[in-house]
Amino acid sequence: MAELYDLVIIGGGPGGYNGAIRAGQLGLKVACIEKGKTLGGTCLNVGCIPSKALLHASEAFEDVSGHYGDLGIKTTGLALDLDKMMAAKTETVDGLTKGIAFLFKKNKVEHITGTGCIAGTGQVEVTDAKGKKSILQTKNTVIATGSEVTPLPGVEIDEKRIVSSTGALSLTKVPKSMVVIGAGVIGLELGSVWRRLGTKVSVVEYLPRILPGADGEIAKQAARIFKRQGFDFHLGMKVTGVEKLKSKLKLTMEPANGGEAQTLEAETVLVCIGRRPFTQGLGLEEAGVKTDARGFIETDHWKTGAPGIWAVGDCTRGPMLAHKAEEEGVACAEAIAGKAAHVNYGVIPGVVYTAPEIAWVGRTEEELKSAGIAYKKGAFPFSANSRARANHATQGFVKVLADATTDEILGVHMMGPNVSEMIGEAALAMEFRAASEDIARTCHAHPTLSEALRQAAMGVEGWTMQM
Ligand code: FAD
Ligand code: NAD
């Protein structure tokens, strides 16, 4: 008689591996099936971590070549060693994926390398690299198979000249020019990496604005800053095709609302118009697991409609973020263990790791207006924050939105230095359903960037102390 698992997780990304570790901690018998060579999924292998490694290194390169001069640091003989930069990125990724394998051992999670699919009630079939099949018996199955790049019809990705984010993270030389299709998170982050290393970057975006989903005021200011950095934006334009010529690529686009076609030429094209759920070959239909029109698995508290089958992360609806997948993986494991499990979907921060960084949590002004919720607003610019001034990093501002009657914080939006770290304070405050006055009356160390959040919160009641 085969062993009976409490749960088998298909997919070893942030949704799958965090869920598996939590299940192990709770004493459940758990296996995690991953088809890739390493654990960590998109996030560790070709997403969050390698992109942040290159963002950090390229920002340092740009700082040394420009910004450090303002601080009285002279440099000569500055040179880029792209191979070394890529090797440093790979070293980080390798270390972190091995770290998950270690955590699996520590928490008694069985790591199975192979491709999983649902074979029947309480059964998961695993096919290994040699095609050998085996069946696992399980009380629960968690689908955590993530997402993949959304293709653009007429633009064939070869990961060399026409790349997705995966190819853009591993280019072997700095392209002279790059057209980025999509002014979303990947376009701005990876566009920033290559622009800082010397590429002329143009961005074609279907909508009339960048970063849909971010607060409109922030996105508008960000677009101005990125333009000054050298990004060449073509907003409200749709790409109709990319022709591969011998030495260059010729991209054709036309205004989204109709009009004359235009062309752009570049050495590299980066396609980043979003990601779509990846659920191929899982046997969902046979298992009675429903998906919506866009292919996302339908869930209610991570449960699908099929008994004993759960789903978490990018393959389900909601923001496609590693920390959202992680929250769901953990909550799902806790629910399977019979514990009260909860994810607060109203408090999932979003961060764009450009320079300046952009971060937010809760609702935007546009969302509050369209929901008819009366709110008060306080804002504070980093140009008035003493630490930002000392660091010569004064771009951006912080904005706090609070309920007009109760003062409960409804949204916090930031653009500026280190706001990826500062947004945690706002998320914690919202998790405790704090009022803006709670932040305004909390003593913040001086001089710190986080004083800008406090000042913005003070601004809700009109007592910001600004020059
Ligand atoms: P995934 O990480 O995609 O993992 C799914 C895993 O399942 C994969 O390893 C896959 O190989 C495996 N799998 C699929 N099918 C099977 C099968 N049948 N059998 C076995 N294994 C299978 N998010 C952030 O929060 N912050 C960031 O800074 C950030 N940066 C990003 C940068 C880039 C370039 C990209 C592309 C994404 C980024 N993301 C970021 C998004 C983040 O990577 C995803 O939201 C996150 O990885 C989703 O986790 P997941 O576990 O749902 O899926
Ligand atoms: P995105 O949804 O952030 O942006 C896609 C952009 O492409 C949008 O602005 C959209 O309007 C535009 N677009 C869509 N179709 C188009 C077309 N035909 N022509 C021109 N523009 C078009 O998607 P992404 O940047 O590809 O990122 C994918 C996912 O990965 C996102 O959901 C994001 O959450 C995640 N991610 C997160 C981070 C982070 O948290 N820092 C970083 C990278 C990726």
CB-based contacts of 111: which residues, under 8 Å, 6+ apart? 12, 31, 32, 34, 39, 101, 104
Residue identifier of the C-alpha nearest atom 30 of ligand 1 = 48
- Residue 92, H or E segment: helix 82-106
Give the ligand 2 atom nearest the CA of 212. Answer: 9
For residue 67, indicate whether it is catalytic: no
Residue 287's alpha-carbon distances to 57, 122, 250, 292, in angstroms, are 46, 10, 45, 15
Residues near ligand 2 with C-beta < 6 Å? Answer: 152, 181-187, 189, 204-207, 212, 238-239, 272-275, 319-321, 351-353
Query: 353 phi and psi, to 5 degrees?
Result: -90, 45
Residue nearest to atom 34 of ligand 2 (CA): 320
pTM: 0.98
| Integer Cα distance of 148 and 157 in angstroms | 13
Delineate the domains of the chain, giving CATH numbers in brackets: 4-149+276-343 (3.50.50.60), 162-273 (3.50.50.60), 347-460 (3.30.390.30)
The Cβ of residue 267 has, within 10 Å, a number of other Cβ atoms equal to 18
Quote the ligand 1 centre to 41 CA distance (angstroms): 5
CB of 213 within 6 A of ligand 1: the answer is: no
Contact residues for 129 (Cβ-Cβ < 8 A; gap 6+): 113, 114
- What is the number of the ligand closest to the CA of 165? 1
- How do the pLDDT tens digits run along the chain, 467 residues long? 578 999 999 999 999 999 999 999 999 999 999 999 999 999 999 999 999 999 999 999 999 988 899 899 999 999 999 999 999 999 999 999 999 999 999 999 999 999 999 999 999 999 999 999 999 999 999 999 999 999 999 899 999 999 999 999 999 999 999 999 999 999 999 999 999 999 999 999 999 999 999 999 999 999 999 999 999 999 999 999 999 999 999 999 999 999 999 999 999 999 999 999 999 999 999 999 999 999 999 999 999 999 999 999 999 999 999 999 999 999 999 999 999 999 999 999 999 999 999 999 999 999 999 999 999 999 999 999 999 999 999 999 999 999 999 999 999 999 999 999 999 999 999 999 999 999 999 999 999 999 999 999 999 999 999 76
Q: Given 301, 342, 392, 446, which residue is catalytic?
A: 446
d(CA 125, CA 290): 20
Residue pair 32/109 in contact by the 8 Å Cβ criterion: yes
| Under 8 Å between Cβ of 218 and 209 | no
